[in-house]
Structure 1
Amino acid sequence: MPIKIPNDLPAFEKLRVEGVPLIGADDALRQDIRPMQVALLNLMPDKPKTEMQLARLLGATPLQIELTLLTTSSYRPNTVPLSHLQSFYQTWQDVRERRFDGLIVTGAPVELLPFEEVKYWNELCQIFDWSRTNVHSSFHICWGAQAALYHFHGVPKHVLPVKRFGVFTHVVRERQDTRRPNLMRGLDDYFQIPVSRHTEVREADLPADAGLEVLAQSNAAGLCLLHEPRFRTVYMFNHLEYDTYTLHEEFQRDRLKSLGDVALPSNYYPDDDYEKAPRNCWRAYAHLLFGNWVNEMYQTTPYDLEMIGRERQAAAA
């Protein structure tokens, strides 16, 4: 089933060429189903690239998804043309009265700043709080996951001595009852994930009574994936959504910015030779994880969008 995005979004034609199922507004209206409403709060500097990466994964699932692109109103990034934001994005203020089946919050290039010093921090906290009542299921990525954990549970981030950068082996965390969580259905016991960050969250800092489940981790790269079943919230600290060359582009960017040596991304280039083309060994896992998230969202969300969040509001009353 296709994903519905604007026909003139730059990602549209690239995804069409790749064979990702896409649908126009007229065709979507003819299908007698309710599309899943997913909002993407895109905090990444290269917004078109992130749009394409995540739309590719959402569009490969067997459900019709309508993607709403969001940006902050308290801060306008200068890394993307204003015309792109005005044409394709809405602010949270524009949609705060709406309800969504899903919300994705991306990472952002601010991880070395204290959370409270991020220019849009207050607005982001409001969005996080709003998501508890207006969103059925949330998926936070990298810094977005760290920020949400800090806001909801006070979990700190720790600065790493060097950037954790490369493709690392992760293991699915075993559960005492031996049942594999729905989010991890179909994933191998060990799988590869791109990692690119200067900070980390540590398991020792997770509150014991918060209901947070560790789903995947790495001996070399630390925590990877957490789930908070009570609020249907996923915290992913790494980047399964990355394209084959994303780490390469980050490496080249870091080399241009740094006067000293920049470490190669680990386990990425054949023979550690950055002139050799890297190979993608995580694509299938990205499709599995996001497919599992969308399927779980579809299986549990109310058909009537207005009923989203009512159970949580009633429990809090």
Structure 2
Amino acid sequence: MEEEKTWALVSELGGEFGYLEELSDILKQHFHLVSHRDLLRNPALYGPKIQVLLIWKYFPAAEPSLLRLLPSLKVVASGGVGIDHLDVPFINSLGVKVANTPGVVSNASADLAMGLLLASARKVLEGHQIAVDPKTINLPQSLMGVEVTGSTVGIVGMGEIGYKIAQRSKGFEMKILYHNRTRRCVADERAVGASYCQSLEELLRRSDFVVIAVRLTPATVGLIGHTELSLMKPTATLVNISRGQVVVQDALVEALQSGGIRAAALDVTHPEPLPRDHPLLSLPNVLITPHIGINTYDTARAIVQRMVANAVAAVKGRPVPNEVKLQ
């Protein structure tokens, strides 16, 4: 049976940047695994054997220089829903299919969006730092947050993740606004009590919390810039779980420094990580997490299992469940 396994290329196994052992074990059930490092050390040996490229956390990058080493490649199976790191037309032109893993990332991503919103609103990080500081003798009464219950959340992007954010927001009795390229059906809106904003500008003006949950496309690069931030309430908070490039970071820094908005809570930046001297890292009204929206054991396991299903289908010539087909 070992000899029948398909050869697959991965970033690395174990270590800080590789697959967790549990996830590696799932892959090993189906594939002979070759690390990116081993491929580059001996491309003549491994390159012609590899039929599957498994991309985890953007690595290994599906660049032309790498793809040229893989003449037998049949599929690029990427973990996560975003495909902005993939040149799908170019990969398809090589006769190679592309697949992602939508759906399985939605709950974890929506959970983190709400976690960032709540942590920023209630100054959880600042409170933790005071509570554990060896110098703390008395607890300050000045650490005041803002109310979440009953506030207005504006969700930009009402796909599956955005809708799950709305479901969670309903539990906090929030007024829910959303802006999307296409309006959701009346039944969906009623189920979460969401109101559609025809324009992004209307949503920005009315929201206490603006949560960005769009895909990165040419149309969404720089979606939130100086003009958009100037429309937000000075008491509002921006939460971004999509991609860093959706927000113009210089404009965000200016808005945060000037009091144009109250705060920002970001799971994504551009680049990642930010340069260590970037002004966003030193602002007291910014909360940043290192792109951990899908980082739960259950979600990671589900992603890898979906990657396997997509890759196996492609190798066997079957329909690929989550093949990316550009319109």
TM-score, scaled to structure 2: 0.34
Rg larger in structure: 2
More strand by share: 1
